[in-house]
A and B are shown apart, each in its own frame.
Chain A
Amino acid sequence: MAKKIVVDPITRIEGHLRIEAEVEGGKITNAWSSSTAFRGIETILKGRDPRDAHHFTQRFCGVCTTVHSMASIRAVEDALKIQVPDNARLIRNLIMGMQGVQDHVIHFYHLHALDWVDITSALKADPAKTSQIAQSISDWPKSSTDYFRQVQARIKAFAETGRLGPFQNAYWGHSAYKLEPEVNLIGLAHYLEALEAQKDMIKVHAILGSKNPHPQTFLVGGMSIPVDPDSQNAINADKIAWIRKLLRNARTFVEQVYIPDLLAVAPAYLDWAGIGGGVGNFLACGDFPTDNSPGTDSLFFPRGIIMGKDLANVMEMDETKITEYVTNSWYTYSNGDDKGLHPYEGETNDKYTGPKPPYEFLDTDSKYSWVKSPRYLDQPMEVGPLARVLVAYASGVPEVKAAVDYVLKTLNAPAAALFSTLGRTAARGVDALILAQKNELWLDQLADNMGRGILEVHNPEKWDPATWPKEARGFGYHEAPRGALGHWIRIEDQKIANYQAVVPSTWNAGPRDAHGQMGPYEAALIGTPIADPEKPVEILRTIHSFDPCLACAVHVLDGQGTEIVKVKIL
């Protein structure tokens, strides 16, 4: 008999996400992903100054902050045919690169780790043995017996207060937790260290972007942060040195903490290399231009499509092939909800038809989410670090190939293992590592430009709206930490006529389309084992492996939908 479970809210993500799933024979047989919040920013943008749009869109998300500013200014630049100065390209690469590193560190330690690491078990660890293991996997200096004893004592004292705060009521002791106590203690110590490290590494955003979250130096046509070796109010040698130090620390953290931890945790969970595969189609729009030539050839992470897990065949990605469905979303299209629309023609007419709150279950037979269903050539696509790394790996980008092969060799796993929950988590680590290493190169190039007297950061040619054509439209892309992101803008009479964003979590979290095809979350959950329907930690593992960017919920009920399993806390 199938049971329907609901997880709502899904925590440790951005936004409001709810998962409903049917469980039969200890496995998920059907799943529905629903976003339960709507703000209507696309509607709010209509009629405004296109140069202002990036401030609005950046607030799509405060966790993957910066990314929607990037896509937005690129969309306007594409529409108005603006070429940005080389310094702006480098500053943007640095900001995007650091966003990738910091966001992945936060995700791995603070949003994802607690699905794999049991904090209560860490209290039983032997600090000496922990130190031994830590030193065997990394040169990270904070690895003495005393250090781990201190961390353990601090958490023990905390636990003894009986008030666990954010750690209470979790799935501690669940049979799905497989790590030995010592590895759990390493994970816990690094959870706390990462909390410090992330706020330091992101100071790169403060220096180049004024603050984080929501840096404010993006501009249509370039960046507003001046560079000038002879000014105290611009990026000068002193600031370059500061950034370099922060980049180096970030890289050290990724190389000596993040990657070793990933490789230490993974062997205990190798079964997850066979779970959570999903739709098997991958889309990457590519990013990090390596020179200032127009077009997409210079992108470090290449643009491309992989269909049906076929790594031998990377196809070209053409943004005109993207459509969005609202068949199962709380919107209506003026020409019928069963037809997909390209974002230029996209509509955001919200029409809530779900149950009136408070409710127990959504009506998953009709519309059930605030997320639309994007499709490429009518196929659901997965986006994210896995898609990005796979496209780069299959295209033969040397740095990516070397890093992926190293991870696979260390774990003694075939490339096919990448199509999984574990593969997604590993690909994110590879992504962070490569970005952490590339960042210093971009900083060198920026310093080199400055040294040669190239100080331009903004192209003012088309800044004045009087210079714009009456009508224009553009596509802005970005490989955000969570995957391929696209913004489409239509400008008429110097105002925004239409604005549509297809964000990574729309690709991944979208509901079924007009043909009944599941979105990547839903597809990835099928077959996931559920040891205890009242504590579905397995759902969190797979959903978190995508690094969702909306707030969610998961619950369980029986096959006929007549009986709800109430989860009682004793």
Chain B
Amino acid sequence: MKTDGSVSQVAIPEEILQRIESRGINRRDFIKFCMATTAALALPVTFVPKVAQALEDNRTPVIWLEFQSCSGDSEAFLRANQPTATELILDLISLEYAEVVMAAAGHLAEEAKHQALEKYHGKYILIVEGAIPTKDDGAYCTIAGQSAVASLKQAVAGAAATIAVGSCATSGGLPAAAPNPSGAASVSEIVPGATVVNLPGCPVNATNLTATIVHVLTFGKLPATDRLGRPLFAYGKRIHDNCERRGHFDAGQYAETFGDEAHRKGYCLYKLGCKGPETFHNCPTVRYNEGVSWPVMAGHGCIGCSEPGFWDTMSPFYRRLPKVPGFGIEDTADKIGIGLAAATAAAFAVHGVASCFRKGNPKDESKVIKED
């Protein structure tokens, strides 16, 4: 019986469930969570027991470092749902250091970090939030008197894997926007060659962060990534190609101004500057805050926040194309192009009129045979 076979493959071993229950976790919640995680990782259901085992095993130590950030990624982490932040902290990982939530402060907090760095050397997952400033020996961001550059290098050296969360850690983000006043850099730029998986987004989507953590716990390795080190399960497709409004795009139905009838009807936001066609992210499928919504659904175009350098390349945010370097803020590529074409036409018109009135034969007089 095929059905029985697959069911027994999918079932989570009883002893795991019992151990989970003894830790005060509801058995059904746990099974539900394992199924959801397996689905989030795009794995067949036969992987559910493996996922369960990975989650049940000893909690993996995690160190969360925060540099030039707004703590938005930490906040996103607190909004996680599959699993929730509580489940993560209490049941799935051992969060050794995380400034936003940890009880300890000052010297004692630093002690906790250093203990974890030593005790779990080569075993911990390092999560980095925020860019790393390099100007003036790193004085633009210090923690406990130590520069961000120094603490990052030290922590990466002993990490089993490093996850850069948010666009600041993955590509410099906002601090690195032109003219990059503090010399901000990404994790990969500071520690080239390190094994880093990038989870850009401003902030990171909590679903993608938890899915990555669970992927590592389940398979003991980082997920497959694209050229920019972003996991394919989350950044393997453009927003545009998964967008709920794609039908309106293809049909030629666009919102012209915010709040007009087309906008209220949910037409495509392309003409209002949406950057979905150039942005790789899974916002349309996983959405935010437990799948409630995402920017295009709420009537505002995508600003391309998961692409490197998006503050410069995707702005002006309400225009399709970037500003043409050297021209005014109102000069779009099309305005300049039409100007160019018109100027060319005008120049040749003048040239043509002048040529018509031009005297003499351009051919070498000596070579022209005059016939009577």
In the complex, is A directly touching B at CB under 8 Å?
yes
Tell me the smallest distance from the CB of A9 to a CB of chain B, in Å. 5
Which chain A residue lies CB-closest to B131? Answer: A39
Say yes or no: A213 contacts B76, CB within 8 Å.
Answer: yes
CA distance A191 to B33 in the complex (A): 22
A138 located at the interface, meaning its Cβ lies under 8 Å from any Cβ of chain B in the complex? no
A196 touches B (CB below 8 Å): yes
Whether B288 pairs with A360 at a CB distance below 8 angstroms is: no
Let me know if A209 and B298 touch, CB within 8 A. yes
The distance in angstroms between the C-alpha atoms of A45 and B90, with both chains bound, is 41
Q: With a CB–CB cut-off of 8 A, which chain B residues contact A153? A: 24
Chain A CB within 8 A of B11 CB: no
Is A6 part of the binding interface, using a Cβ–Cβ cutoff of 8 Å?
yes
Say whether A36 contacts B266, CB under 8 Å.
Answer: no
Contact bitstring A205-227, B, C-beta under 8 A = 1, else 0? 11111111110110101101111
The answer to whether A460 touches B289, judged by C-beta atoms less than 8 angstroms apart, is no
**A452 sits at the interface (CB 8 A):** no
Could you tell me if B266 and A231 are in contact, using CB atoms closer than 8 angstroms?
yes
- Encoded as 1 (CB less than 8 Å from any A CB) or 0, chain B from 56 to 88 comes to 000101000011111111111011110011100
> What 1/0 flags go to A31-66 for Cβ under 8 Å of B?
000001111110110001101100110011111010
Q: Convert A230-269 into 0s and 1s, putting 1 for each residue whose CB lies closer than 8 angstroms to a CB of B.
A: 0111100000000000000000000000000000000000
**Interface check A168, CB cutoff 8 A:** yes
CB neighbours of A205 from chain B (8 A):
289
B350 adjacent to chain A (CB < 8 Å): no
Assess whether B338 is interfacial by the CB under 8 Å rule.
Answer: no
Contacts of B61 in A (CB 8 A): 163
B258, A460: Cβ atoms closer than 8 Å: yes
User: In the complex, are the beta carbons of B137 and A199 less than 8 A apart?
Assistant: no
Nearest opposing residue in chain B for A553, CB measure: B144
Contacts known (A59-B174, A195-B78, A463-B257); A167 close to B150, Cβ less than 8 A = no
In the complex, chain B residues whose CB is within 8 Å of the CB of A170: 102-104, 108
Q: A206 CA to B141 CA in the complex, in Å?
A: 32
A224 touches B111 (CB 8 A): no
Cβ–Cβ < 8 Å partners of B133 in chain A = 37-39
Task: Name which residue of chain A comes closest to B256, CB basis.
Answer: A460
- A295 at interface by CB-CB < 8 Å: no
Give bound CA distance, A360 to B202, whole Å. Answer: 34
**Contact with A11, one of B68, B104, B298 (Cβ below 8 angstroms):** B104
Q: How far is the CB of B128 from chain A (nearest CB, A)?
A: 14
B360 within 8 Å of A (CB atoms): no
Given A41-B174, A169-B108, A203-B292, A210:B103 Cβ within 8 A: no
Stretch at the interface among A349-357, A425-433, A521-529: A349-357
A447 in the interface, Cβ–Cβ < 8 Å? no
In the complex, residue of chain A having the shortest beta-carbon distance to the beta carbon of B303: A55
CB–CB B289/A154 < 8 A? no
Chain A residues closer than 8 Å to B98, beta-carbon distance:
166
Chain A residues with Cβ under 8 A from B241's Cβ?
Answer: none
Among A56, A119, A551, max chain B CB count under 10 A is at A551
Known: A154-B23, A163-B59, A231-B265. A216 touches B72 (CB 8 A): no
Residues of B within 8 A of A231 (CB): 264-266
Report how far A342 CA is from B135 CA in the complex, Å.
28
**Of A12-20, A301-309, A475-483, which stretch is located at the interface?**
A12-20
- Report chain A residues within 8 Å CB of B258: 219, 221-222, 224, 226, 457-458, 460, 463
B209 to chain A, nearest CB (A): 13
- Does B175 make an interface contact (CB < 8 A)? yes
Residues of chain B with a CB closer than 8 A to A536's CB: 106
CB-CB under 8 A from B85, the residues of chain A are 195, 199
Other-chain contact of B329, A9, A356, A460, A495 (Cβ < 8 Å) = A495
Checking B23, B79, B95 against A165 with a beta-carbon cut-off of 8 angstroms, the contacting residue is: B95
Residues of B within 8 A of A219 (CB): 258, 300
| Chain A residue contacts of B112, Cβ below 8 A | 168-169
Q: B145 at interface (Cβ–Cβ under 8 A)?
A: yes
Query: Is A82 an interface residue when CB atoms closer than 8 A count as contact?
Result: no
Q: Write the chain B residue with the least CB distance to A232.
A: B266
Do B94 and A226 have beta carbons less than 8 Å apart?
no
Q: Which B residues are in CB contact (< 8 Å) with A106?
A: 78
Count chain B residues whose beta carbon lies closer than 8 angstroms to a beta carbon of A: 100
What chain A residues lie within 8 Å of B175 (beta carbons)? 39-41, 44
| Interface pair B316/A49, CB less than 8 Å apart | yes
Interface of A is mostly: loop
- Determine if A8 is an interface residue (Cβ-Cβ < 8 Å): yes
**Residue A14 contacts which of B67, B71, B147 (CB distance < 8 angstroms)?**
B71
Q: List residues of chain A with CB within 8 A of the CB of B73.
A: 62
The answer to whether A43 touches B86 (Cβ under 8 A) is no
Chain B residues within 8 Å of A13, by CB: 99-100
Beta-carbon contacts under 8 Å, B140-197 to A: 140-147, 150, 174-175, 177-182, 184
Question: How far does the alpha carbon of A357 sit from the alpha carbon of B68 in the complex, in Å?
Answer: 16
CB-CB under 8 A from B74, the residues of chain A are 62-63
Judge if A545 is at the interface, Cβ distance under 8 Å. Answer: no
B316 and A493 within 8 A (CB): no
Tell me the minimal C-beta distance from A565 to chain B in angstroms: 9
Determine whether A485 belongs to the interface, using a CB cutoff of 8 Å to chain B. no
Contact of B259 among A15, A16, A460, A534 (CB under 8 A): A460
- Distance in angstroms from A372 CB to nearest chain B CB is 15
Cβ contact within 8 Å between A40 and B142: no
Q: Are A158's CB and B90's CB within 8 A? A: yes
Across the interface, which residues of B come within 8 angstroms of A222, CB to CB? 258-259
Known: A157-B22, A206-B292. A567 touches B72 (CB 8 A): no
The reply on B307 being an interface residue by CB < 8 A is: no
Question: With the chains together, A463 CA to B96 CA distance in Å?
Answer: 48
CB-contact partner of B142 in A14, A36, A114, under 8 A: A36
- For residue A465, CB closer than 8 A to chain B, the reply is yes
B29 proximal to A (CB < 8 A) = no
Closest residue of A by beta carbon distance from B95? A165
- Decide if B105 is an interface residue (CB 8 Å cutoff): yes
- 23 A-B pairs within 8 Å (CB atoms) are namely A40-B175, A41-B174, A44-B175, A44-B177, A44-B178, A49-B316, A59-B70, A63-B71, A157-B24, A166-B89, A169-B109, A206-B292, A209-B298, A212-B75, A213-B70, A224-B259, A232-B266, A233-B264, A233-B299, A352-B139, A460-B258, A551-B99, A569-B115
Q: Which B residues form the contact surface with A (CB < 8 A)? A: 22-24, 59, 61, 66-76, 78-81, 84-86, 89-90, 93-96, 98-112, 115, 131, 133, 135-147, 150, 174-175, 177-182, 184, 202-203, 257-259, 263-266, 287-290, 292-295, 297-300, 303, 311, 315-318, 328-330
Interface residue ranges, A against B (CB under 8 Å) = 6-16, 36-41, 43-44, 48-49, 51-52, 55-56, 59-63, 65, 85, 106, 110-111, 114, 119, 150, 153-155, 157-158, 161, 163, 165-171, 192, 195-196, 198-199, 202-203, 205-214, 216-217, 219, 221-222, 224-228, 231-234, 350, 352, 354-360, 370, 455-458, 460, 463, 465-466, 493-495, 534-536, 540, 551, 553-555, 566-567, 569
